[in-house]
C-alpha cells in the first residue's frame, strides 16, 4: 500500500481531491455501448499509421543525433523489481542507470541571490529570498540547449548537450510545506506561498567531471503570480479580462505540465488556478464559476484573506479569476520578456501541451483538461509557424480550437469552438467569450467526457498519446473510457486525419493500467508523458501504486504490438514522478520528484539522507545511463 494513502490530509491532497470533483453537469453522456474489442481499433490505427508513415518521415526529421549502433531492443535496461524497492526515503533506479540531484527547493538562481534554503525545519525562506530561488512543486519542464532558437543547429555538438536553459514549473506547495503552518497569518506568509509557486528559468551546465550545476546567467529568472504578464490572441482585449480597478495583468499559478514550441519557447500550463481564490464576503457562484470550480475557501491557501486579487467577493477584482487557466509562453533566452498568455488555446485546467508540426509547417497543439469528465482539445494554427513569425504574428494567436468527440467505433471528430457555430452564438457574444468559457462551449458541442486527461505527447509516427489518469466517479463504461470505475487510469492513442490538420481522427486504447495488476511491471495512474522519436514512451505516475511501490517512471516500446511497461525509476514516499525532458543527444534526462513526503519529514527528507526532521524538498533528478547510452535503452 502506498504511504500516499496513509498521510494526513493537507492541501496537496486537496489538489488531488478537487481535481477529482467533476464540475461538468452538461449531460454529455458517456457512451453506453459495450467496448469493442481492442483489436479492431488497433487495426484501424495500424491502417492509418501505415498511410501516414509513407508520406511523413517523422523519425528522419528528428534523427539528428542518436543512431543507436548495435542495439538489441529499443527498451533494454534492467528494470527495477518490486523487491528492489526497500528504502522509500530515497529513489530507486535501474541498475543500469544513475541519478544526480539538481535544483532542490531553495536553490538560488536569479542574479543577486545568495542564500539557499536547505530544509531546516525551524525556518523557511523569506518571501524576498523565495523570489530569487527555485520554488516547490517541480512539475513540467523543458531543456533548451544553447543556440536552440529556430531550430538552429549549433556546430558545437558538445555544448548543446551539456549546457542550456532549464524551464521548470513549480505547480504548488501546501501551506504546511511552504510556510510550516496550515494557513497564512499575514501578507508576508501569502507572498512566501505565492513565491514558491510559478516557474524557474535557470541556466545549467555539465562540468567535465559530469555533474550538472546551476551557472549564472542574465536569462535566469523566477516568474511568480506577481510577475507582469501580457495577454494575446482573440480574448486579449475582452472586458472579461479587465477589472474595475484597472490593475495590470500579473502572474501565473499552478503551473502543471509543459510543452515547447518549434520556435524555441517554453509553454507552461495553468491547471488548478481556482484553488487560490476564495471569498471574504458574500459569494454566490455564477454558472461559469461553478464550471471552473470556484468556491468560498478554494484549496485552503488563504491568499484571499490578505491579497484582494484573490478575493472573489471583492468587486474591484471581479474578473481576476478569468486571467488564469491559460497556456503561457515564456522565452527562455530573454530574462526581461513578459510571459504571454495565449488566449486562442482556450481557458480550462490546462495540464500540458504537445505540438506537432505538419508537412506545410502549420502546427497542431494537443491539450488535456484535467478534471473528471472533462475534455481533450486541439489547436491548429492558420499559417505555417515560420510564415506567422515572419509576418510578426504568433503562431499561437491565429488558429482554430477544437474539442474531441470520441465515437465508439474507433473514430473521432474535432468539434470547432467557434462563435460562427449557431449553438455557441446562442450562448456567447464573441469568440473571446467562447475561449474564456471553453469548458461550457465544449459542453454545448457534445464533447466526450474523459477520465481526467493529463499529459499529451507525439509518438514517432505522429500518433498522440493521452494519459487519462483515473476516474473513480465513472459509473458507466464508455468506449474511450471503458472502465467504470476507472481506478487505475489508461492511455489513449489518437491519430489525426490530414497530418494533424484534419477534423477527424482514429483512436484506440493503448493500455489499461489495470491490465498490469498482479504483474511484476504493475503501474497505475499514468500522468506525465514524453515520447522519443524512436518509439519509446516515458510515463510518470501520480497515484497510490500497488504492491508497496511509490510513484514511478516506466518506459514502453511503442513499436511493439503489446504494450509492456519497464520500470526505470521509483520515487520516494508520497511523491509524484513528473516532468520529463532530455538533451538533444538523448543521453541526459531530467525528471522531477514532486512533493516528497507531501512536505512532511516523517517518511523522507529527500534529497537529504533520512533523519526524520529535515524538510523534504522537491527537486529535479538528472538521469544518465551508466554506459552513456540513450535514455530508456
Q: Which residues bind ligand FEO (CB under 6 A)?
A: 19, 171, 256, 271, 351, 370, 454
Binding window for Ca ion (CB under 5 A); candidates: 71-79, 180-188, 330-338, 449-457: 449-457
**CB contact set of 167 (below 8 Å; sequence gap of 6+):** 141, 142, 144, 199, 200, 201, 202, 258, 266, 268, 330, 332
For residue 485, is the peptide bond before it cis, meaning its omega torsion is within 30 degrees of 0?
A: yes
First to last CA, the chain: 30
348 versus 414: smaller Cβ distance to ligand FEO = 348
Using CB under 5 A as the binding rule, whether residue 331 contacts Ca ion is answered as no
350 versus 500: smaller Cβ distance to Ca ion = 350
444 versus 569: smaller Cβ distance to Ca ion = 569
CB of 208 to ligand FEO, least distance (A): 37
HEC profile of 605-631: CCCCCCCCCCCCCCEEEEEEECCCCCC
CB of 481 to ligand FEO, least distance (A): 16
545 versus 614: smaller Cβ distance to ligand FEO = 545
Which does residue 171 bind out of Ca ion, ligand FEO, none, counting CB within 5 to 8 angstroms by kind? ligand FEO
Handedness of CA 292, 296, 298, 301 (dihedral sign): positive
270 versus 454: smaller Cβ distance to Ca ion = 454
CB of 527 to Ca ion, least distance (A): 4
CB of 275 to ligand FEO, least distance (A): 11
Cβ distance 222 to 131 under 8 Å?
yes
Q: Which helix (H) or strand (E) holds 198?
A: strand 198-206
Contacting residue, 454, 461, 496, 575, with Ca ion by CB under 5 A? 454
CB of 569 to Ca ion, least distance (A): 17
CB of 422 to Ca ion, least distance (A): 36
Which does residue 311 bind out of ligand FEO, Ca ion, none, counting CB within 5 to 8 angstroms by kind? none
Residues 519 and 505: their CA atoms lie apart, in Å, by: 33
Residues 130 and 125: their CA atoms lie apart, in Å, by: 6
Residues 462 and 47: their CA atoms lie apart, in Å, by: 13
110 versus 542: smaller Cβ distance to Ca ion = 542
Q: Which helix (H) or strand (E) holds 533?
A: none
What is the bridge-based pairing of β-strands 97-102 and 619-625? antiparallel
Which does residue 163 bind out of ligand FEO, Ca ion, none, counting CB within 5 to 8 angstroms by kind? none
CB of 173 to Ca ion, least distance (A): 15
Which does residue 270 bind out of ligand FEO, Ca ion, none, counting CB within 5 to 8 angstroms by kind? none
Contacting residue, 527, 551, 575, 603, with Ca ion by CB under 5 A? 527
Region 529-568 residues binding Ca ion, contact defined as CB under 5 A:
542
Helix (H, G, I), strand (E, B) or coil at 356: strand
24 versus 162: smaller Cβ distance to Ca ion = 24
Which does residue 271 bind out of Ca ion, ligand FEO, none, counting CB within 5 to 8 angstroms by kind? ligand FEO
CB of 565 to ligand FEO, least distance (A): 20
Cβ distance 105 to 117 under 8 Å?
yes
CB of 587 to Ca ion, least distance (A): 26
454 versus 463: smaller Cβ distance to Ca ion = 454
Which does residue 295 bind out of ligand FEO, Ca ion, none, counting CB within 5 to 8 angstroms by kind? none
| Strand ordering across the sheet containing 576-582 | 97-102, 619-625, 588-594, 576-582
Cβ distance 28 to 448 under 8 Å?
yes
Please state, in angstroms and as integers, the Cα–Cα distance from residue 520 to each residue in 75, 545, 546, following that order. Answer: 16, 12, 11
Helices (H), 351-470: 385-390, 422-425, 431-436, 438-445
Residues 165 and 200: their CA atoms lie apart, in Å, by: 10
204 versus 554: smaller Cβ distance to Ca ion = 554
By beta carbon distance, the residue nearest Ca ion is 542
Phi and psi of 60, rounded to 5°?
-65, -35
CB of 370 to ligand FEO, least distance (A): 4
Cβ distance 470 to 22 under 8 Å?
no
Please state, in angstroms and as integers, the Cα–Cα distance from residue 81 to each residue in 512, 568, 570, 598, 630, following that order. Answer: 21, 10, 10, 24, 21
Which does residue 461 bind out of ligand FEO, Ca ion, none, counting CB within 5 to 8 angstroms by kind? none
| Site track for Ca ion across 456-475, x = CB under 5 A | -------------x------
Give contact residues for Ca ion (rule: CB under 5 A): 454, 469, 527, 542
Amino acid at each position: 500500500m502506498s504511504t500516499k494513502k496513509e498521510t494526513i490530509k493537507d492541501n496537496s491532497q486537496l489538489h488531488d481531491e478537487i481535481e477529482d470533483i467533476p464540475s461538468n453537469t452538461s449531460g454529455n453522456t458517456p457512451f453506453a455501448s459495450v467496448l469493442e474489442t481492442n483489436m479492431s481499433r488497433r487495426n484501424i490505427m495500424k491502417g492509418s499509421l501505415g498511410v501516414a508513415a509513407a508520406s511523413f518521415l517523422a523519425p528522419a526529421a528528428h534523427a539528428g543525433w542518436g543512431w543507436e549502433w548495435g542495439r538489441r531492443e529499443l527498451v533494454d535496461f534492467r528494470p527495477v523489481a518490486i523487491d528492489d524497492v526497500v528504502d522509500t526515503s530515497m529513489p530507486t533506479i535501474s541498475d543500469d542507470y544513475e541519478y544526480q540531484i539538481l535544483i532542490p527547493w531553495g536553490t538560488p538562481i536569479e542574479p543577486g541571490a545568495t542564500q539557499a534554503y536547505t530544509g531546516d525545519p525551524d525556518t523557511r525562506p523569506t518571501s524576498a529570498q523565495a523570489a530569487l530561488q527555485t520554488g516547490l512543486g517541480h512539475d513540467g519542464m523543458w531543456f533548451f540547449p544553447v543556440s536552440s532558437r529556430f531550430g538552429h543547429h549549433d556546430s558545437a555538438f558538445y555544448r548543446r548537450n551539456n549546457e542550456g536553459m532549464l524551464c521548470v514549473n513549480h505547480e504548488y506547495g501546501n501551506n504546511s510545506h511552504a510556510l510550516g503552518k496550515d494557513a497564512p497569518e499575514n501578507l508576508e506568509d501569502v507572498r512566501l506561498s505565492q513565491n514558491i509557486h510559478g516557474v524557474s528559468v535557470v541556466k545549467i551546465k555539465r562540468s567535465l567531471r559530469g555533474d550538472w550545476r546551476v551557472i549564472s546567467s542574465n536569462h535566469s529568472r523566477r516568474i511568480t503570480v506577481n510577475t507582469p504578464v501580457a495577454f494575446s490572441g482573440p480574448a486579449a482585449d475582452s472586458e472579461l479580462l479587465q477589472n474595475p480597478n484597472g490593475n495590470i495583468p500579473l502572474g501565473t499559478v499552478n503551473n502543471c505540465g509543459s510543452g515547447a514550441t518549434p520556435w524555441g519557447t517554453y509553454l507552461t500550463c495553468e491547471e488548478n488556478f481556482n484553488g487560490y481564490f476564495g471569498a471574504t464576503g458574500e459569494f454566490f457562484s455564477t454558472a461559469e464559476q461553478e464550471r471552473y470550480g470556484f468556491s468560498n475557501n478554494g484549496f485552503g491557501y488563504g491568499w484571499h484573506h490578505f491579497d484582494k486579487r484573490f478575493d472573489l467577493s471583492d468587486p474591484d477584482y471581479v474578473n481576476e479569476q478569468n486571467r488564469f487557466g491559460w497556456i503561457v509562453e515564456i522565452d527562455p533566452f530573454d530574462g526581461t520578456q513578459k510571459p504571454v498568455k495565449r488566449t486562442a488555446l482556450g481557458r480550462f485546467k490546462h495540464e500540458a501541451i504537445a505540438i506537432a508540426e505538419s508537412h506545410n509547417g502549420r502546427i497542431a497543439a494537443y491539450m488535456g483538461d484535467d478534471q473528471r469528465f472533462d475534455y481533450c482539445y486541439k489547436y491548429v494554427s492558420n499559417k505555417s509557424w515560420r510564415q506567422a513569425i515572419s509576418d510578426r504574428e504568433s503562431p499561437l494567436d491565429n488558429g482554430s480550437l477544437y474539442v474531441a468527440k470520441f465515437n465508439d467505433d474507433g473514430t473521432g471528430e474535432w468539434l470547432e469552438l467557434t462563435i460562427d457555430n449557431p449553438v455557441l452564438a446562442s450562448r456567447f457574444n464573441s469568440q473571446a467569450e467562447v475561449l474564456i468559457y471553453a469548458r461550457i462551449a465544449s459542453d454545448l458541442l457534445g464533447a466526450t467526457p474523459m477520465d481526467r486527461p493529463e499529459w499529451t505527447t507525439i509518438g514517432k509516427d505522429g500518433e498522440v498519446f493521452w494519459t487519462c489518469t483515473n476516474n473513480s466517479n465513472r459509473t458507466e463504461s464508455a468506449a474511450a473510457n471503458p472502465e467504470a470505475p476507472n481506478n487505475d487510469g489508461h492511455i489513449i492513442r489518437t491519430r489525426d486525419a490530414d497530418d494533424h490538420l484534419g477534423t477527424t481522427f482514429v483512436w484506440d486504447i493503448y493500455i489499461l493500467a489495470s491490465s498490469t495488476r498482479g504483474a511484476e511491471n504493475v503501474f497505475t495512474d499514468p500522468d506525465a508523458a514524453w515520447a522519443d522519436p524512436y518509439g519509446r514512451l516515458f510515463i510518470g505516475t501520480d497515484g497510490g501504486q500497488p504492491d508497496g511501490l511509490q510513484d514511478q517512471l516506466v518506459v514502453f516500446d511503442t513499436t511493439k504490438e503489446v504494450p509492456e511497461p519497464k520500470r526505470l525509476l521509483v520515487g520516494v514516499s508520497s511523491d509524484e514522478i513528473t516532468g520529463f525532458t532530455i538533451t538533444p543527444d538523448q543521453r541526459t534526462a531530467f525528471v522531477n520528484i514532486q512533493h516528497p513526503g507531501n512536505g512532511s519529514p516523517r517518511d523522507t527528507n529527500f534529497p537529504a539522507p533520512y533523519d526524520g526532521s529535515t524538510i523534504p524538498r522537491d527537486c529535479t533528478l538528472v538521469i544518465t545511463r551508466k554506459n552513456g547510452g540513450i535514455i530508456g535503452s
